[in-house]
Structure 1
Amino acid sequence: MRVVVVRSGGFAGIEQRGESDSASDPILARLVDRVDFGSVPPPGRIPDQFLYEIDIDGRRTTVGEAQLGGPLRELVHHVLGRAR
């Protein structure tokens, strides 16, 4: 399983990208199993907020910083943290 997260927006508009694969990241599958794409709210219209584009094996969603919570937040921080 492959997960790609792209964070864009914010005041400076700097993009950050992270990618992880369950073959080399044993925690990834457990985090993905907890995410419910059906409950992800659409991004709100908040100036200068970060937007997170999340792709899990071709299933994509975009969520705003204010709506990013719970298991989805954990997944995003995990994938972006591995990119550093």
Structure 2
Amino acid sequence: MKIEVVRTGGFAGIERRAEVDTSGRPDEREWQALAQLALHPHPRAAEGPGRVRDGFAYRITVDGRTVSCHDPHLTDAQRNLITRVLKEGA
């Protein structure tokens, strides 16, 4: 499974991108479960703008399926996956 995270926005507006391929990893199932949960949008994301000025926006792509999300409307799974991918895929 390939997981890509793209982070944009923030005060400086710098894009950061990272990718992790979970194939063959000892923790592959854990990554897969987290990635599937992260593809579901935050329930409050549909309520309207709610973006924080200079906040981050994210695009999470898992095997061709993409979800866009932004602070402060991230699910726990999205926040966890974003942190892990940006750390390990850097």
The two structures have a TM-score, normalised by structure 2, of 0.77
Contact 2:57 2:69 (C-alpha < 8 Å) held by counterparts:
yes
Bigger Cα Rg = 2
Structure 1: runs of 5+ lacking an equivalent: none
1:54 aligned residue: 60
Alignment of 1:58-69 (within 5 A): 58-69=64-75
Deviations 1:33-52 (A, max 9, x none): 43352546256333211001
RMSD: 2.1
How many aligned positions are there? 84
Structure 2: runs of 5+ lacking an equivalent: none
CA distance in 2, matches of 1:38, 1:68: 8
CA distance in 2, matches of 1:38, 1:69: 7
Contact 1:20 1:28 (C-alpha < 8 Å) held by counterparts:
no
2:33 aligned residue: 30
1:73 aligned residue: 79
Contact 2:4 2:85 (C-alpha < 8 Å) held by counterparts:
yes
CA distance in 1, matches of 2:51, 2:42: 18
Query: Alpha-carbon deviation of 1:24?
Result: 4.7
